[in-house]
Chains A and B, each alone.
Chain A
Amino acid sequence: MLATSPAVSPPIVTVEDLRKTYRSGLLGRPLSALRGVSLEVHAGEVFGLLGPNGAGKTTLIKTLLGIVRKSGGRARVFGQPVGTWRSRNRVGYLPENLRVEKHHTARSALHLYGRLSRMSGAEIHRRSEELLGKVGLAGRDRESVRRFSKGMYQRLGLAQALMHDPDLLILDEPTDGLDPVGRSEIRQLLLQLRGEGKTIFLNSHIMQEVEAVCDRVAVMARGTLRGVGSIEELTAHSGPERFELVVLGDVERVRAALPDTLASTATLSIDPASTTHPTPTCFLQIQCSDAAQIDACVDALRHAGLSIRRLQPPVQTLEDAFFALVDEAHPGEALPGEATGAEVR
């Protein structure tokens, strides 16, 4: 965990009511990619950005980097308006699907990107040595990138993003296309960077990755921010919870034993594997608003002579939270791009 609470550390990225509308086609048909996004990223935190395709995640990143111009709202990086070279000078960026020209080796590519980040030759040399080892490209640094695998490309991408020792790293799908081993290595590297106190802005649609490395997560859909907070905050519940019980007995006996207040919300099913047993096993799901209700349920079942094998409290994953948030505002609606076929960047 962070040494400094994110809440008290100064914000590095500040986005307020950020809007971006693209124009497409001959008539300039407007297509809103960001519809009033507001968030803050604090120094030293790993901030994850989740969302389905077309949610506006990449547009948000490109706006922060000045690659696209905002249509409205405010966005600042290190207190500087986005797009200024001062703000970009302290940012390291790994784009999705990095392309490095074929005539490069890892070392020459790092030299070029170092120069573009206004580093001196000596600095470039020193950092190249350090980073090539760190990302696992030592010994292959003089090979043409033509021979590089996708994983090696991503490592090279990470190395170039770190070349000028930036305070903020913006990583767009850093593990995209990697095999499990590659993903694990990148994840380890991110954790290492987090340990070094780097601020990381991570755009990913891999829930486990975000869950594993991020301190806070924002969920976007249809160009809006649906939720932002720590993993715990996003997965925390309020209101009635649904419990699952495994009871030894047939469905009819279990239903008859339930108190009237719970019977209407209960869902019962037989474990198919237990149908050949003398006493079948029944799965019971009930919705309880407080602890007294679950106590009453357990008492009623025990009173009816039924044996309770397991009582499972409710558990919500980030994925559950993600789907809940994405589907919250517009339940049943298709996500952008799914309905129209259009891709929102």
Chain B
Amino acid sequence: MGPYLAVIVDSFRAASASRVLWIALAAVILFLIALAPVGYRENVVTRVSPRDIVDAQRLAQRLRTDLKNPSDRPSARIAAALPETIQQQIRRSDQPQSETRLDEQAFADAFSELLQNDDAWYDAEAWQSTTRLRELRQLDDLSASQLSEDQRLRRARLRLEAGLRGAIRPRPEKTLSLTYATFSTPAEWPLSQYLFRQTLTSLVLPPILNGLLGIIGIVLGILVTAPILPEMLQPGSLHLLLSKPVSRPLLYLAKFLGGCAFMLMCVGPLLVGVWLILGWRFDLWLGRLFYCIPVYLLLFMVYYSVSCLAALQWKSPIVAALVAMGFWVACGAIGIASSYMDEWVSEPARLTGVTLTGVTLTGVSTGSLDEIDTSERESGEQVAAGQRVVFGNTRGGELQYWDQTNRRWQTVALEDYPGEVILGPVPIGNQQFAATRKSLRPFGVSGEGVLALVDADEQFAVRRGGKLPGGASRILSTSDGAVLAFGSGGVAVATAERLREGPAAEVSGGGLFGSLTRLLNSGTKDFQSVLPGEVFLQEPFQVALLASDDVILYSAGTLKRIDRQADSLQWDLVASAEVQGDVSREAVLGASATTVAVVRKDEPIQLFDADTLEAIGELQPPGDRTIVSLSGDPHSDTLAVRFSDRSGALLKTGPTPRLADLPDSLSGESLELLRYDHQGRLLAVYDHDSVRLLGDLAGPPELELEPRLSSWRMINEYLVQPLRYVIPQTGELRAETVRAALSGEDTQEFGQGMFAEQVRRQLNVKRPVFTCLGFTAVMLLIGGIIFTRQDY
């Protein structure tokens, strides 16, 4: 390898002799000098801010009860210690005509005042029954003399959180503010160090590095390295090289690798500098940063391989640079076209939920699930009673039903229900379904939160149903057609009959404040809260409905089972358990006939007995995959598991829990959804919007829906996507592989709460690497063949 290494080393020398390199390095050093003073400061969270109050009105209601019935309960002691003016406002808050409504700010100020003197309201004995976080337990173990003022205030705040569990959002011990040299930004972020580092590595660093290295570095690299090969191809230089005892393809490869030296010499110092600054200023020794060196080098190699091929053909540095830049533009254009197709055509068509009549709800069943009746029915024609109806929710926020005649999904008209996410549909009897559309934005809950009732018997006509509680983010239906709504306000229920009456008129509040208050209200005239008094819902939460209408709730690290009382719309708390691990992380929940499974990112799957919620075991998920959904078989101990890479598995939770492969008919499919229905059949959505229902896992599917492609999807499928596979995925390499390399995560999440599963996206980490490597290899192979066969 000596001769070829000599060529590569020589290229390093050539690069180091380039003025452009030194200019680039000087720019890198200036950038690093400018970046070096950036840092952060941690501030201990010792106050209560308005954003910490979950729901001011519910809190007022709770404290009002405590004030009316004084006791030694923590919440009553806190209520009694509040300033007299606040107490009066709380007492008056149940009066509809009350002019002074308590808001979050008022509570935050009052609580912050309480923190100054916790001796006035804290009593160790009274707090014995509360759930104390480890941090509070540690602080409680310290004597007064061992505590700093900040620690004392922090302890008071934690006591307040424990005493008013569910009413005050837990905050990490510290908030962060950014600093630049000795200056500090006024804004403080309630981020833990973990979240701050995650934000830094997944949201801040990637765009900065992409701008510097992915765009400026690449363009500069193309321009600077374009003359290297034409220079070698000059007769006086080339003939001498070719007269040496060296292989032509290897000489070409060595010259190519040598050309990459320039990029390496730019990328290396920049990343080492950023690594040092992150370590020094942020105490973040991010070794993963160095993964970016091969990634950006690969990105450059893609364009440089094109430049070299052009140089072989035309022997001109200008033409080589122009061709490489042209290719860069073409890659970008195809990448953008592909992204647009994904965003507007492909992604919106993906099904995130499927509802089958007669399957999801046994009480509403109009018969067993046979083949869909296709006899002579035109699109949109009235559905005969007893026919099967299949609904699908798309990621694009459309509610669709299956039109078997045309083999297409048809859209249900929900124009009056703006938003991006469909809740439901859930069957409420008589071929009627309840659904609505909501916004993902925290305060963009559009419309009035009214349920839409879709009549399959009347050409899928839509009419207004009951009004959902504010903050509801998921709806399920019970066996008798009642609708359960889950959200930050709690769990509420409405009967089918009540919903059919349409939304009840609400008492009008005052202006914007009144509207906001209504949005955050837990109950409405139509929905009544069903949670037992001792059960609160706190983000992040998840819910699983069992076949018996019993509910498993996961709420900020706590698992609860609430069972429905016979012949009533009331639920009782029957079991509770703590889930070990990081309570702030989103969880995925699933429940089979015997087992409840909970998994959070980077944690093992924790298994609990479905009846008692006793922990029965753990199972480590497969190494590099994240679980995005769990769904239990109501008749066995099996759960269907879907991973972020759209693969799936079956979780057998017997004496020895294990993950088993999916049946052959589903293996290899790109799964959009995988769950059990209430009859224990496995329902899978694959290839965007195709549906397969398996009763017998080894047998043929009971139902298979494969829709015809729309013209835009055909263009995407047969033109844009093949092009995307032919050309290297440089855009994805910059955006997704770099992001994954920096964050160490292979999924990207948008939003929080129960929507998280819908917006968790698998990052394309490996595919761009493979396409870029493959493309570069092909370019080098072609170049090597040309260089070998050509006479010079």
Are B791 and A98 interface neighbours, CB within 8 A?
no
Report B119-152 CB contacts with A as 1/0, cut-off 8 Å: 0000000000000000000000000000000000
A123 CB, nearest partner CB in chain B, Å: 12
Q: Does B550 contact A (CB under 8 A)?
A: no
Cα–Cα, bound, A108→B9 (Å): 11
Interface size (B, Cβ < 8 Å)?
A: 26
Given A112-B6, A116-B6, A117-B244, A95–B239 Cβ distance below 8 Å? yes
- Choose, from B60-68, B230-238, B376-384, B419-427, the stretch at the interface: B230-238
- Taking the complex as formed, is A88 at the interface, i.e. its CB lies under 8 A from any CB of chain B? yes
Which residue in B17, B231, B234, B244 is a CB contact (below 8 Å) of A116? B244
From A22, A88, A115, residue with most partner B Cβ within 10 Å: A115
Q: Is the CB of A118 within 8 A of B247?
A: no
Do residues B14 and A101 form an inter-chain contact, with CB atoms below 8 A? yes
Determine the main DSSP class of B at the interface with A.
helix
Task: Report B-chain residues with C-beta under 8 Å of the C-beta of A69.
Answer: 791
Chain B residue with minimal CB distance to A85?
A: B245
Closest Cβ of chain A to B741, distance in Å, is 34
Q: Decide: A103 near B792, CB < 8 A? Known: A65-B243, A95-B239.
A: no
Q: How far is the CB of A89 from chain B (nearest CB, A)?
A: 4
A118 touches B245 (CB 8 A): yes
By CB atoms of chain B within 10 A, which of A95, A97, A102, A113 has the most? A95
Cβ-closest chain A residue relative to B239: A95
- CB of B241 within 8 A of chain A? yes
Q: Which residues of A contact B792 (CB under 8 A)?
A: 62, 67-68
Complex: chain A residue closest to B238, CB-CB? A67
In contact, A118 and B3 (Cβ under 8 angstroms): yes
Pick from A88, A102, A111, A112: contact of B243, CB below 8 A.
Answer: A88
Distance between Cα atoms of A108 and B11 in the complex (Å): 12
A:80-105 near B, CB below 8 Å: 85-86, 88-89, 91, 93, 95-104
* B237–A101 CB distance below 8 A: yes
Which has the most chain A C-beta neighbours within 10 Å: B235, B240, B246? B240
- A66-B242 contact in complex given A97-B235, A99-B234, C-beta closer than 8 Å: yes
Give the residue name and chain of the B residue nearest to A68 (CB): B791
Tell me, yes or no, whether A175 is within 8 Å of chain B by CB: no
**B237 near A91 (CB under 8 angstroms)?**
no
B1-44 to A contact mask, C-beta < 8 Å, 1/0: 01101110010011011000000000000000000000000000
Cross-chain contact A89 with B245 (CB below 8 angstroms): yes
Contact A113 B240 (CB under 8 A): yes
**Is A160 close to B, CB under 8 A?**
yes
A95-B240 in contact (CB<8A):
yes
Q: How far is the CB of A53 from chain B (nearest CB, A)?
A: 15
The residues of A that contact B231 with a CB separation of less than 8 Å are 101
Q: Are A118 and B791 in contact (CB under 8 A)?
A: no
How far is B359's CA from A285's CA once the two chains are assembled, in angstroms? 124
**In the complex the two chains form, is A93's CB within 8 Å of B245's CB?**
no
Quick check: B10 and A95 within 8 Å, CB to CB?
Answer: no
The answer to whether A86 touches B234 (Cβ under 8 A) is: no
A residues whose Cβ falls under 8 Å from a Cβ of B: 22, 62, 65-69, 85-86, 88-89, 91, 93, 95-104, 108, 111-113, 115-118, 160, 170
- In the A-B complex, the 4 residue pairs with the smallest Cβ-Cβ separation, listed nearest first, are A115-B6, A99-B236, A103-B17, A85-B245
**Chain B interface residues toward A at CB < 8 A:** 2-3, 5-7, 10, 13-14, 16-17, 231, 234-237, 239-247, 791-792
Q: List 27 A-B contacts (CB under 8 A).
A: A62-B792, A65-B239, A67-B242, A68-B791, A69-B791, A86-B245, A88-B243, A89-B245, A91-B243, A93-B240, A95-B235, A95-B243, A96-B235, A96-B236, A97-B235, A97-B236, A98-B240, A99-B234, A99-B236, A101-B14, A115-B5, A115-B6, A116-B6, A116-B7, A116-B241, A116-B244, A117-B244
**18 new A-B contacts at CB < 8 Å, known A93-B243, A160-B240:** A66-B243, A67-B239, A67-B242, A67-B791, A68-B791, A68-B792, A69-B791, A85-B245, A89-B245, A91-B243, A95-B236, A101-B14, A102-B17, A103-B13, A108-B13, A115-B2, A117-B244, A118-B2
